[in-house]
Structure 1
């Protein structure tokens, strides 16, 4: 199925409303199980690791040089803030006094240590107070943004506004320094995030000042060359430094996804949110261009983005290496955020398709089966032998086993907040039509709209929906789905099957195993194919098939069997060939023999849960 881009010039109004997670209760199924794992295990595991590494202690402002406390890092505020936001989402649906007490303790530290002027930062207040708002790349506004998002989430979850009051004071101080006085050493943040946070502050409080601030930071980006302190000057031209954080030109003129991939996604989602709030067609058009460049030229089949470790950046179109793929977990999360906000501008199923691709593959691959380990990077190929070869000049390769905490531990709390707010992505509404964007057994109850969805997706493709308080139900038909059945008359609109809401609607999606080819401009995937079933990307691991996976090949029309897997999703066994040299010499005039065999495939999101092993998403085509 081909999904077409809608022309924004033909639209004059903002469209889809997406329902906030608090209105949606997940009830069963694969993602529900992941959400429960997050609630029962992950949120506390991340808390424990952050406690061990001094992150929570730093909020007490008790570090002294030469003392026994760990020195705060300039992005620790954001690590804790994302954890607090995720905890707030959990508390909005679950009574957990111990978890609530942990959040309240951090809030008390913030209240106690916030400056009289409203400023709050655990690094600059304690370590370098004379350098406040002087260094664009030291994440002050980024940290402020994450604290604001956490404060909004906690206010919504528990009705406690102390944290929100603190962040309103901080936002007011930022307004004074950056907009009224213009006394800061820079104009826009080096790491975007506060832009979207301010829009959330506006939506929650109704105070237009925060929307004005978000617009200021978005409008001013790229309007001038921002200075970099000499000690932090990157070994690139000023223009390249600006490209790294999307400051190389005004945002409304941008067409290419460039620079640090997470920063880019956080900017783009804020641009889309601002376009929605202000009906800004020019900004919406820029979002469409950036979206198209990202997903048609720079996205891995797993929904990962940002292909190089150098700056955690995008590179050029179709440069998607597999073994050195960076594909940061936070970047896949950011892509889902961007797509979600684009759905607020345009009710097109392609955005929900990308949310699905990212969530089930590039996000969950960063999350271990036991709920305690994480990947920062998510490669699509691992060859263990390379890690022990050529020690003097070997290329940089991602780690092969998940860990519980990183020095830069942005991904674990991001997993916490995404898994605890999955309800955000399920439903949407516009003009009498309820949109079913993601397939998760769930119940919706808001503004007189009731809906119950029952499914075991993506284990099966059967989805049942019963809705009240709406005229129509629009069920997304994924782009990967070639055929489907619906028990009612329907029309297809922008990738959705639209049905009258006068009955229980049952949709059956064809979940056949599919062969996938990359665009021929992706050099690293030439002559190779990958396997998908529904939205799930599969991979081969050495633990099942032996290492040296490059010796295997499969034909485009391979035979296969689907069976119950050990990771909560089906596993696939495909008919394959394994190349065997006909003699023992290094080079031969005799072609290798291709012997019939079988190749076991598991969901990509579950690789590296059984120890180190070779792994490959892309398999040679026979």
Structure 2
């Protein structure tokens, strides 16, 4: 009944909008119907839904005249008085194939591109795929936070310029990270390139799940990378898009781990799970046993009715530089991963085979591109896929921005799993320095010829995704780098 109701609603939209003289040549201001129509096509097999999605994508940004101008005049408005001044806000400034940067409202552009990726696949359209790749490069290399958060500006809930990535005022809406996950999952399924899985994982473990409190009852709408202690999760919002969107991703998470081909099985993500997939017509049961992402040891057990030859493709994450692989306890000598980030293992697999993959996981210093003004001379900490932060709950330093880290010492930070802390997390500890306030008083804002001194301290870092789950306090991801 619900599917029938949805189909009738989609048919009404299809009757109102389209290329015919009796239809409106328009499209929504907030994209998402495009990907929904493709899903409806998959569910019903009715190609008219796919064609309607294609129309919305193809018509968007056409200027003969521009639909939004025509619509504004029809309701008595002046198009020049549009609040955001141009149609970049809703990705309708130029046709999709002419767009070369991700612009405007971050959630809107990600949902639009998820639909574009769907259409590129369904119509085998290389021009749409090229558009996705071009915009993906711009996003990942110039406009994305280390956490997978996107969209630095509160004004448009979206993008500004290349390399504009402030930490404390970052918007980085939870829904934008969710839409980024959805887009990368599509690109990964269609292209099989591990770089998409890297971004999916980076976003999943950091900028997405930070949007949910450990009790599951409070949410971040925005996800800054620094706070003076005033930013907290809320039970609900006036615009409550993020809470149900978080639930949608968590409920569908099982779809992100594996994919199959005629004679191939890909493992995209690691984590404790079991699944049943079909390769070349035969059912294969998979079971991952692991503490990932806290530990890089992954055991993958396979079970099937009879031996079967196929290629098992294990993803080697982009952050991992050393790894080893065992099959049934014996070291395997395999070629390094291909450029797509996957380790292909062609074998005749037998019931009960067990693979053990060990990914090296030292704490690593992370630097931002020098063009990111807000991060010049700063360093962050990452271990495996997890980005770390420092909270005042674990550190007695007043004003965490006084902390300085020596990048050369980060790899030597100790790792301790704390099952009782924040639901069970790895805590990192290591040496740092603190800019000393000794000699300064309330009557001295500036002083001459007397630079501040520093003193050694130990710093404790916790995963960014679990910050603000204790008492209110400061938080910071990026720190001044010592010994520059």
State the TM-score, normalizing by the size of structure 1.
0.69
Runs of 5+ consecutive residues of structure 2 not aligned to the other structure: 327-331
Q: Helix, strand or coil: the match of 2:465? A: helix
Residue equivalent to 2:446: 587
Residue equivalent to 1:430: 261
Q: 1:231 to 1:320 in 2, by over 3 A?
A: farther
Q: CA deviation at 1:238?
A: 9.0
1: CA distance, partners of 2:470 / 2:79: 39
Deviation string, structure 1 residues 483-528 (Cα, Å, up to 9, x no partner): 1111223232210111134342211001111110001111101111
Q: CA deviation at 1:442?
A: 2.0
Q: CA deviation at 1:236?
A: 6.2
Q: CA deviation at 1:373?
A: 0.2
* Structure 1 stretch displaced more, 325-334 or 343-352: 343-352
Tell me if structure 2 keeps the 8 A contact 1:199–1:210: yes
Residue equivalent to 1:210: 49
Q: Helix, strand or coil: the match of 1:532? A: strand
1: CA distance, partners of 2:289 / 2:342: 18
1:417 aligns with 2:270: no
1:479 aligns with 2:314: no
2:391 to 532, 538, 541: 541
Q: CA deviation at 1:233?
A: 6.9
Residue equivalent to 2:407: 556
1:175 aligns with 2:14: yes
Q: 1:244 to 1:180 in 2, by over 3 A?
A: closer
Residue equivalent to 1:505: 355
- How many residues align structurally? 447
Deviation string, structure 1 residues 454-511 (Cα, Å, up to 9, x no partner): 2110111011223455511111111111111112232322101111343422110011
Residue equivalent to 2:329: none
1: CA distance, partners of 2:77 / 2:154: 18
Matches within 5 A, 1:94-105: none
Tell me if structure 1 keeps the 8 A contact 2:18–2:25: no
Residue equivalent to 1:337: 182
Moved over 4 A (4+): 180-186, 230-240
1:194 to 33, 40, 43: 33
2: CA distance, partners of 1:236 / 1:358: 36
Runs of 5+ consecutive residues of structure 1 not aligned to the other structure: 1-161, 385-398
2: CA distance, partners of 1:410 / 1:183: 34
Residue equivalent to 1:323: 168
Q: CA deviation at 1:182?
A: 5.9
Residue equivalent to 1:489: 333
Q: CA deviation at 1:337?
A: 0.6
Q: 1:304 to 1:336 in 2, by over 3 A?
A: same
1:245 aligns with 2:90: yes
Q: CA deviation at 1:184?
A: 6.4
Q: CA deviation at 1:586?
A: 3.1
Residue equivalent to 1:603: 463
Q: 1:351 to 1:613 in 2, by over 3 A?
A: same
Tell me if structure 1 keeps the 8 A contact 2:400–2:476: yes
Q: 1:260 to 1:183 in 2, by over 3 A?
A: farther
2: CA distance, partners of 1:358 / 1:513: 18
Matches within 5 A, 1:304-453: 304-384=149-229, 400-447=231-278, 448-450=282-284, 451-453=286-288
* Structure 1 stretch displaced more, 406-415 or 562-571: 562-571
Tell me if structure 1 keeps the 8 A contact 2:260–2:277: no
1:465 to 282, 300, 316: 300
Deviation string, structure 1 residues 159-191 (Cα, Å, up to 9, x no partner): xxx100100111111111112766666601100
Q: Helix, strand or coil: the match of 2:237? A: coil
Q: CA deviation at 1:581?
A: 3.4
Residue equivalent to 1:69: none
Tell me if structure 1 keeps the 8 A contact 2:15–2:23: no
Residue equivalent to 2:62: 223
1: CA distance, partners of 2:267 / 2:77: 47
Deviation string, structure 1 residues 166-218 (Cα, Å, up to 9, x no partner): 00111111111112766666601100000000000111111111111111111
Tell me if structure 2 keeps the 8 A contact 1:454–1:464: yes
* Structure 1 stretch displaced more, 192-201 or 342-351: 342-351
Tell me if structure 2 keeps the 8 A contact 1:239–1:248: no
Tell me if structure 1 keeps the 8 A contact 2:184–2:196: yes
Structure of greater relative contact order (alpha carbons < 8 Å, 6+ residues apart): 1
Task: Decide which structure has greater helix share.
Answer: 1
Tell me if structure 2 keeps the 8 A contact 1:453–1:466: yes
Tell me if structure 2 keeps the 8 A contact 1:525–1:618: yes
Deviation string, structure 1 residues 513-547 (Cα, Å, up to 9, x no partner): 11100011111011110001100000011122133
Task: Decide which structure has greater strand share.
Answer: 2
Residue equivalent to 1:125: none
2: CA distance, partners of 1:449 / 1:496: 22
Q: 1:219 to 1:543 in 2, by over 3 A?
A: same
1: CA distance, partners of 2:76 / 2:136: 34
Q: Helix, strand or coil: the match of 1:428? A: strand
Q: CA deviation at 1:237?
A: 6.4
